[in-house]
Amino acid sequence: MIKARGLLDETLVVWGGEFGRTPFNEKGKGRDHNPWGFTIFMAGGGIKGGQVIGTTDEIGLRAVEDRAHVHDVHATVLHALGLNHINVTFLHNGRSERPTIGAGEVIKKAFV
C-alpha cells in the first residue's frame, strides 16, 4: 500500500524488537529472550531492499557474521530519518542523553 502510493522512499518501515527468542525451550515452558541473535525488518527510507545482513550460528542462537547491537539498529533508524545519532539528544532525569547511549554505528550495508 505504501509503495503503491509512491510513499516508500520517504517512509521508513521497521519491524523488530531488541531481542529474539532462543532456538530451544526453557524446560518445556517456552523460549527465553535471546539478545545474541534477533531479526529486524526494514523497508523504505533509503534502505536497500532484497538483502539479508548478518547470519547466526547453525542453531540460530548467536550472530556470527555482520553482528549488530541494538544501538547500531537505533543509529541506523535515526540515519534513515535524516538524523545524526551522535547529535540527537533528549532530556532524561534533568540531563541530555543520546538515544544510542554511548555506542552505536550506522549499518552502512543497509543503504542503497
Q: Is residue 1 part of a domain?
A: no
Give the model's pLDDT for residue 101. 83
Q: Is residue 2 part of a domain?
A: no
Give the model's pLDDT for residue 78. 95
Q: Is residue 17 part of a domain?
A: yes
Q: Is residue 79 part of a domain?
A: yes
Question: pLDDT averaged over the chain?
Answer: 91
Q: Which residue range forms the structural domain that includes residue 82? A: 8-110
pLDDT in tens, 45-85: 999 999 999 999 999 999 999 999 889 999 999 999 999 99
45-84 in b/e form (b: 16+ CB < 10 A) is: bebeeeeebbebeeebeebeeeebebbbbbbbbbbbeeee
Q: What is the rounded average pLDDT of the residues 4-28? A: 88
Give the model's pLDDT for residue 26. 76
Q: Above 90 in pLDDT, residue 18? A: no
Q: Above 80 in pLDDT, residue 12? A: yes
Q: What does the CA dihedral 11, 102, 68, 112 come to, rounded to 10 degrees?
A: 40
Domain count, the chain: 1
Residue 27 pLDDT level (bands cut at 50, 70, 90):
confident
Q: Is residue 3 part of a domain?
A: no
